[in-house]
Structure 1
Amino acid sequence: MFRGEIMVLPRPVLLRRLGVLVATLALASTLTAGPASAVPVVTVAGGAVSGFSRDGIDQYFGVPMAVADRYASPRPAPGWTGVREAVRHDDQCPQAVPLPIDLPPIPALPANSEDCLGIDLYVPPNAAGRSLPVMVYLYGGAFVVGNTTQYDSPSQLVRDGDVIVAIPNYRVGSFGFLALPELAAESGGATGNQGIEDQQFALRWVRDNIAAFGGDPSNVTIFGESAGGMSVCTHLASPRSAGLFHKAIVQSGPCSRSPLVPPSREVAFARGAAFAEEMGCGDGPGRLACLRSVPVDGLLESTTHSFTSPNATWTPVVDGVVLTDTPEGALRAGASADVPILMGSNSEEGGTFVVLFDYAAGRVPTAESVAASVREVYPEDADAILATYPVAAYPTPADALSAVWTDSLFACPTVVTADAARAGGARVWQYRFTDAPLAPSGPLLPGAFHAADVPYLFSRLGGIPVPWTGSAAALADRMKRTWATFAHTGDPNGPGLPAWPDSGASGHPALQIDRDRAEPVTDVADVHRCGFWAGVSPADRVQ
């Protein structure tokens, strides 16, 4: 389905196409290209590495960064002798296929391995001896899925933007976010943030090693989408991340008032205890040892590793050590007053989640299922939400549910987060992405759905070229230049780019980003009913 083509598919055909789409994306994420030509050998903390050249840039895949025992903090990877070939992506950190759908046979998926903490580097040619801005990308996936292979590669961003992009693996699911009192006791109080600690280790690795590739450790931008954006917010709030980066980009990151907001230790401990019980490890003194002895596949059988609802089990945790406050609270208190921030959301984020939570489960939304979904996430405010978003006011029940997820989980949390950062002294540029890469309407992924912005920043995804042409290619070029300009200067404004006032200007404007339009707008909060959502919180967001 391409932009401009509106299709209405019978339900069986729709579900078959969804299955093929998911299978295709999963297969694409396994594809890598071997070395095309040699590139400079670079010496890092563990030893020397050689990469390869493709798409006009130098690439180094799977550079050993860290190792970690299960549920423990990462530690430096052991060194090696000779020159290590860095031409293959790492295995992915353990994760389950998150959808309740029977997929067509897939020849190969990224292998699960607890030895997964490597980093991929994408470097302009002849960068040695230079001092280039560094952009560290943190992948999304609701903190239950994601890997570096999916984002191969940001070649145009690197080549034309004259930046280095680093993409580290980090642990997800229970492997990355299990919190228990026993873990806190053995790690000085840190618990439930192993995946965030992996990211912090990556930022320290970049600080200590990136100069060897031609990067400037004093000019590091962190950026990420979805849970990657939430990760960026977590680093903005974490005292352990201070000084490891200097600019931040949050794309569709639900950083406040959503189920991904870091809970208190007590809530996280309750989640961890329930998981241990589900795994047959009980609540006794041997609970942690029991969990560490369960095979990887056994842990992944837990329903908590699936992604069937906005409610989340595995998120960062306000543990008092790695994270001492929620991102909203820390930003409002000035935790990152000296860090320029670019953040935004897409205008129809919720369409992706209707596909994931309804169509992928074999269900076409109805008025009754919409009500049930809303009550699951917002039990105390469901009646008010359903009255504000009546199914009868939308073309289909799916459209009504998409609007609820868009406004509550992304658009309004972005507005709140931007307000908090600005109140804490940070300079913030906000955007609303409205381009529809597929069809502007229809039953599957209409409008600017969740993650619709990602293909405009990467030239390949899963090794597959992104085939933009015409105005879409022009938009992709403009976004890459804007993101790179921000990495260079801390301001997205530059020659040939749209004028973008920061959100401290009159009316708190946001830049609307579309292939047909790039201008400031001041109606984001009104369009997405953020006044209504100011008084609503998910039931699971308990402090």
Structure 2
Amino acid sequence: MVCESKFLLYKALALSAGIVLVTGLTGCAEANRDSVTVDTDKGVLHGVETTTMRQYLGIPYAAPPVGSLRWKAPQPVANWPEVKQVNAYAKNCAQPASPFGQASTSEDCLYLNVFTPKGNGPFPVMVWIHGGALLTGESNDYDPTALVNQGVAVVTINYRLGPLGFLTHPALTAEGGGSSGNYGLMDQQAAMRWVKSNIAAFGGDASNITIFGESAGGLSTHSQIASPLASGLFQKAIVESGAYNLAAPALADAEKLGQSFATKTGCSDQSLTCLRNLPADKIIANSSAIQVGGTTLPTVDGKVLPLTLNDAFGSGRFNKVSVIEGSNQHEYSLLSAVTTDVTLGRPINASEYPVFLAGVVGSTLAPVVQGAYPLNSIETPAQTFDDVLTDAAFSCNGRKIARQLTANGATVYTYEFADKNAPMVFNIPPRPEGYGAYHAAEIQYVFPTTASKVYFGAPFTAAQTELSNRMVAYWAQFAKTGNPNASGLPTWAPYSVAADSYQTLAPGNVGPNAQFAAQHKCAIWTPGV
């Protein structure tokens, strides 16, 4: 009340002097304006200033996708008339409990977080898309302090997951005018549009946006590069371990999975009324019904994704942006730990190796693969099995994408994260031989907890700290200029089909490696590429 009275007094004095106050703020907001009060297109936000940055947590970027909005494209959020305090993270999107995210049944989850350096900018902007098989994960697991200290603004986002984000179904296709699914990808695009429209008010540069993500966040980043609906929303992209699937299911195939999901949830009539009345926990419990190969995938729906990634990148029909494309040296060790090891209660042994190998590559190819990846005295059988899946799903697919993008006019920088002693950040049983440079291991190097270089309680060595510093600098410099090279950093050459060289990222070893394709036996997995 006092604040409002002060504003009215200021307004009266201004009018008496012939001055008109132009403001979209309430009186109190105007009178209390400070360095963390920001105008957006929907209302005024008030964030928090820490010793290192300004942060705005839990900003709604779209209307809650609940009720009749479940399984629809994200809709605009309503304006708010009063100043909104954004000083705490919002709820995460509905998902099961896992090592990669906290359990949630919330569908009201389309929120993002903004972290900026102090000062006026304009700052390059990095939009982080979390991983988790498009089934789990959350925006609040990542400390952006190190990146912000490099002079970039960082945005982390939530998006719909599992069946709530990626269900494809004939009834939804009919309602959607010929396509369905990919709601989570549309959420990401809505978040990018929000950034494009509002980030300048936070000091960000709306014309210099980099999207980046790991695992399913990397697959999402690839999908946005391939999506015509994302054209112009970003200028650069960083893909960390996101090349594990280049051939998403076609609409008709995904619709069959959706029908199976409906039946399993009790909606045997296949009606949208039944589906939209399902409780979120029942939807989550039946997530596996829409999965392909144990993971949630986007759909080639003809709208968000007109083509598979392989076809889009191979034909040159993608958004021409600069890209960092990379993978980790021992990707599959983590994934085996949460799948095969859980099923058996232990890693596979020597007698099981050929059986599991045939199960994943088929009986025809199995002898060839076993000849190329024989059991040996240096590795355990589980490590050899993980080598096969790392190369088949990640290393060689990523190289194929790099070659396709480069051949079609994009500038690409390739890397392999190769710290064989990377601290384990997930709560999973240890292996005596360790997990090497496992899937997601590089995240802690890009998002270190700056104060002590500790991530989830795992301390870095001095050499690991140096590697982290270099990776943060590379990522931030790429966001600034589209080129990761900067003074004081080892030179990182752009990828070329002829040189076929990767930048190794390992403690005490940051530099080019022209043997990547041979080391990962890409002639087997991507022949002729």
* TM score, norm. by length of structure 2: 0.85
- Corresponding position: 1:293 with 2:277: yes
Give 3-state SS (helix, strand or coil) of 1:300's partner.
Answer: helix
Measure, in 2, the Cα distance between the counterparts of 1:463 and 1:398: 27
Aligned to 2:168: 179
State the Cα distance separating 1:520 from its structure 2 match.
0.6
Aligned to 2:296: 314
State the Cα distance separating 1:189 from its structure 2 match.
2.5
Aligned to 1:363: 346
Measure, in 2, the Cα distance between the counterparts of 1:196 and 1:331: 18
Measure, in 2, the Cα distance between the counterparts of 1:295 and 1:236: 34
Measure, in 1, the Cα distance between the counterparts of 2:116 and 2:145: 9
RMSD between superposed Cα atoms in Å: 2.6
Aligned to 2:118: 125
State the Cα distance separating 1:47 from its structure 2 match.
1.0
Aligned to 2:383: 399
Measure, in 1, the Cα distance between the counterparts of 2:395 and 2:92: 30
Name the amino acid aligned to 2:131: G
State the Cα distance separating 1:466 from its structure 2 match.
6.7
Q: Is the 8 A contact 2:110 2:159 kept in 1?
A: yes
State the Cα distance separating 1:71 from its structure 2 match.
1.2
Measure, in 2, the Cα distance between the counterparts of 1:305 and 1:394: 39
Aligned to 2:234: 245
Aligned to 2:481: 489
Q: Is the 8 A contact 2:258 2:289 kept in 1?
A: no
Higher mean C-alpha deviation, range 358-367 or range 287-296: 358-367
Aligned to 1:93: 93
Give 1:203's match in structure 2, choosing from 188, 192, 201: 192
- Corresponding position: 1:84 with 2:66: no
Name the amino acid aligned to 1:512: T
State the Cα distance separating 1:394 from its structure 2 match.
5.6
Give 1:170's match in structure 2, choosing from 147, 159, 162: 159
Measure, in 2, the Cα distance between the counterparts of 1:305 and 1:133: 40
Aligned to 2:331: 349
For residues 251-266 of structure 1, what are the structure 2 equivalents within 5 Å?
251-254=240-243, 256-257=245-246, 261-266=247-252
Q: Residues 300 and 372 from structure 1, CA distance in 2 versus in 1: closer, same or farther, beyond 3 angstroms?
A: farther
Aligned to 2:130: 139
Name the amino acid aligned to 1:405: L
- Corresponding position: 1:275 with 2:261: yes
Give 2:58's match in structure 1, choosing from 62, 72, 76: 62
What are the Cα deviations for residues 387-421 of structure 1, in whole angstroms up to 9, with x where unaligned? 43333566322112211121111111111111111
Q: Give 1 or 2 for the bigger CA radius of gyration.
A: 2
Name the amino acid aligned to 2:288: T
Name the amino acid aligned to 1:113: S
State the structure with bigger RCO (CA 8 A, min sep 6), 1 or 2: 1
Name the amino acid aligned to 1:366: N
Give 3-state SS (helix, strand or coil) of 1:493's partner.
Answer: coil
State the Cα distance separating 1:448 from its structure 2 match.
0.7
Q: Is the 8 A contact 1:91 1:112 kept in 2?
A: no
Q: Is the 8 A contact 1:74 1:201 kept in 2?
A: yes
* TM score, norm. by length of structure 1: 0.83
Measure, in 2, the Cα distance between the counterparts of 1:457 and 1:366: 35
Name the amino acid aligned to 2:412: V
Measure, in 2, the Cα distance between the counterparts of 1:238 and 1:178: 18
Aligned to 2:71: 71
Measure, in 2, the Cα distance between the counterparts of 1:199 and 1:419: 26
State the Cα distance separating 1:76 from its structure 2 match.
1.3
Measure, in 2, the Cα distance between the counterparts of 1:179 and 1:240: 18
Name the amino acid aligned to 1:330: A
Give 3-state SS (helix, strand or coil) of 1:144's partner.
Answer: coil
Give 3-state SS (helix, strand or coil) of 2:232's partner.
Answer: coil
State the Cα distance separating 1:467 from its structure 2 match.
4.0
Name the amino acid aligned to 2:408: G
Q: Is the 8 A contact 2:392 2:525 kept in 1?
A: yes
State the Cα distance separating 1:97 from its structure 2 match.
2.0
Name the amino acid aligned to 2:212: F
Q: Residues 439 and 79 from structure 1, CA distance in 2 versus in 1: closer, same or farther, beyond 3 angstroms?
A: closer
Aligned to 1:43: 39
State the Cα distance separating 1:464 from its structure 2 match.
5.3
State the Cα distance separating 1:373 from its structure 2 match.
3.9
Name the amino acid aligned to 2:267: C
State the Cα distance separating 1:486 from its structure 2 match.
0.3
Q: Is the 8 A contact 1:255 1:327 kept in 2?
A: no
Number of residue pairs matched by the alignment: 481
- Corresponding position: 1:502 with 2:494: yes
Q: Residues 463 and 115 from structure 1, CA distance in 2 versus in 1: closer, same or farther, beyond 3 angstroms?
A: farther
Give 3-state SS (helix, strand or coil) of 1:345's partner.
Answer: strand
- Corresponding position: 1:449 with 2:442: no
Measure, in 1, the Cα distance between the counterparts of 2:99 and 2:140: 19
Q: Is the 8 A contact 1:371 1:386 kept in 2?
A: yes
